[in-house]
Structure 1
Amino acid sequence: MASLETHFLATLFFAPIGIRRFLCSSSLFLKNPSLFKSKPWYFSNPKWKNLDLYILAVALPLASFAEIFIFSSLSGHSTYRFSFFQQFSTLSLFWLLIVFFVIYDYLDHSLFNDTFFFVYAAIAFLVEYSFIGVGVTGLGTAVYELLAQLTLLCAGCCLVLSVKRTAFFAEFFLSFGLVFKGTWLLQAGLCLYTDAFVPRGCKKLELLPRSPDADVHCELEEDGMRGVALVNLLFALHAILITVSGFGIFGVLSSIKKLKCAEATGPLLAQVESDGLLMQPVHELEME
């Protein structure tokens, strides 16, 4: 989390995944709510349509190499050694999860089942949660505390889904949390690493020479309180916008029911239709 660029890249990682999860899970849920089961990743057929998955598998190692490059230029500072370690370890955990999805067809599903993936994702989020905001002072503390709460929400939803994959509310809040994390990371980058979005009465301070890291400090306590209130207001506006958009999209999908993901058009849908055909004669017999 060293600059506006890294925040923006993190936004490109979390927000599209959250949007994709919400669209696919909602489509699957609307087909037949009683047969809904959450998936660690909603694959598309044919395989080339999973282009976003393959892009992530390549992009995350590139992001790690970028962290190594930044670290090598600042290796004389112990502060950046720890910062590099926390970012590299978090990226590595999520990258390994993406790799699991890429080679999913070749894995032993008795061991690497859906429960395993949800538990692993929860652990990755908890590791990220333990590192968020470490060493940050000033206004950045309030910004990253809110980000940590979103990360904890994602971890909790993954744990719920590992136990009960039919819990659509957990799937909804997981998608909500991922999108929210993405938009809030971008907001954090704008608030902490650009002069244009620094609250009035506060200023951005460079932590060390040649460093992209900065923090926002307010000279007066009143300015600091105003800055924290502004951060909380922005957080609430993000939450309202994403919630309203989520329910709006869900309402549109429930009316058109035309969005098709692989998990909603493949074997599961066939099973739903088969169950419907089997139940129809029984219903007609009861009517007679």
Structure 2
Amino acid sequence: MASLLFHILASIFLFSYGIYHLLLSIKSHFKSPSPPPSKPYHPFPSSSSSHFLKHLPLYLILSSILLSILYHSILSSISDPLAPVHRISSLQSVASLLLFLLLCLSLLISSSSSPLLPLLPSDLIFCLASIAFAVQSFVSFSSSSLNSSILQSKCDSVSSKISAASGVLCFALALDPRLFVADIALAGSLCLQGLWVLQTGLSLYADGFIPDGCHRLLDVVRGIEGSTKCDLEESQLRAMAILDLVFVFHVVFVAVIVLVVYAVMARAAGVRRVGSYEALPTSLVPAMAVVGSNHVQMKALTNTQA
């Protein structure tokens, strides 16, 4: 029950923060006349001058990282002879989370105008985030290759690919912070990771969502490596195909969310487009009328002289 609860909480946070980053990135894009540089972190929009309220998202990120470190530390302390590699995998997860913790603390200290650390540039933050996602991807890939459960190995493998995509997007933003598409895709990857964390928890620890032919082992501690297995090869192939199908649904769902949010924000910002042409500003209409009038007068004068 604790493992399923942890995956649900982690999913809610990742998905919520992805939506938050998506909204503020699109809002910043429409407010600026020129493409603004992407921000690795958007302060909470509030009229209050409170430092805590302004940087509330950072504090929430910090709390979630600490909770994840505590969860994996507890898992690493569990000894089970039927799951020999789970302790190493849990320690690897703790080590990768320490990178995100260090990045979050650096952002928090630098944003508080502390003399201990100057304000970090966006490209450096994106570069560090890219390294953290790369390490997280490597840890998930290592866990998938060592896991004795085909079902759990598949979940870790997909998570590794999502983290790798997030790392590539962060690296692209480190090279050019004005890549709006990469910023939006990064927010979408966070939402997708949140949905997949939830799917992993349901597929491994919720009896109603475990694929047919797979089951939890009663003699293995729930939540560690190998606690959910598929006995027959046909069941394994079917379970993997189901997870692939569900992953495609998650990708489509995130794409729809991004398109809907973009359309709503564009409408709220007053953006209107007809085909490949944009509506001219109203301030240019009188000037064009004057130019057109002068053109007609010059043409009439030329005909008269002729």
Under TM normalisation by the shorter chain, which class is it?
0.7 to 0.9
Aligned residue runs from structure 1 range 141-220, under 5 A: 141-205=153-217, 209-213=220-224, 214-220=226-232
TM-score normalised according to structure 2 size? 0.76
Give the Cα–Cα distance (whole angstroms) in 2 for the partners of residues 33 and 100 of structure 1: 31
Question: Cα distance, 1:21 vs. partner?
Answer: 0.9
Deviations 1:175-222 (A, max 9, x none): 01001001111101100122211111222235x644532443333322
Identity value in percent: 27
Give the Cα–Cα distance (whole angstroms) in 1 for the partners of residues 223 and 230 of structure 2: 20
Give the Cα–Cα distance (whole angstroms) in 1 for the partners of residues 206 and 33 of structure 2: 45
Secondary structure at the counterpart of residue 203 of structure 1: strand
Give the Cα–Cα distance (whole angstroms) in 2 for the partners of residues 205 and 84 of structure 1: 19
Given that residues 24 and 42 in structure 2 are in contact (C-alpha distance below 8 angstroms), is that contact kept between their aligned partners in structure 1? Answer: yes
Secondary structure at the counterpart of residue 38 of structure 1: coil
1:60 aligned to which of 55, 62, 65? 65
User: Which amino acid in 2 is paired with 1:54?
Assistant: Y
Secondary structure at the counterpart of residue 35 of structure 1: coil
TM-score normalised according to structure 1 size? 0.81
Change in 2 beyond 3 A, CA 1:189/1:211: closer
CA-based RMSD of the aligned residues comes to 2.7
Runs of 4+ in 1 over 6 A off after TM superposition: none
Given that residues 10 and 185 in structure 1 are in contact (C-alpha distance below 8 angstroms), is that contact kept between their aligned partners in structure 2? Answer: yes
Deviations 1:100-133 (A, max 9, x none): 2211233323xx3111110100010011111105
Give the Cα–Cα distance (whole angstroms) in 2 for the partners of residues 102 and 147 of structure 1: 27
User: Which amino acid in 2 is paired with 1:10?
Assistant: A
Match of 2:268 in 1: 256
Given that residues 75 and 87 in structure 2 are in contact (C-alpha distance below 8 angstroms), is that contact kept between their aligned partners in structure 1? Answer: no
Paired residues in the alignment total: 261
Give the Cα–Cα distance (whole angstroms) in 2 for the partners of residues 150 and 217 of structure 1: 23
Give the Cα–Cα distance (whole angstroms) in 2 for the partners of residues 69 and 180 of structure 1: 26
1:82 matches 2:88: yes
Given that residues 60 and 91 in structure 1 are in contact (C-alpha distance below 8 angstroms), is that contact kept between their aligned partners in structure 2? Answer: yes
Change in 2 beyond 3 A, CA 1:33/1:216: farther
Given that residues 43 and 55 in structure 2 are in contact (C-alpha distance below 8 angstroms), is that contact kept between their aligned partners in structure 1? Answer: yes
Secondary structure at the counterpart of residue 178 of structure 2: coil
Change in 2 beyond 3 A, CA 1:209/1:221: closer
Match of 2:103 in 1: 97
Question: Cα distance, 1:73 vs. partner?
Answer: 4.2
1:121 matches 2:146: no
User: Which amino acid in 2 is paired with 1:89?
Assistant: A
1:50 matches 2:64: no
1:222 matches 2:227: no
Secondary structure at the counterpart of residue 59 of structure 2: helix
Which runs of 5 or more structure 1 residues have no equivalent in the other structure?
259-279
- Asked which structure has the greater CA Rg, the reply is 2
Given that residues 137 and 163 in structure 2 are in contact (C-alpha distance below 8 angstroms), is that contact kept between their aligned partners in structure 1? Answer: yes
1:108 matches 2:113: no
Higher relative contact order (CA 8 A, sep 6+): 1
Question: Cα distance, 1:91 vs. partner?
Answer: 1.7
User: Which amino acid in 1 is paired with 2:125?
Assistant: F
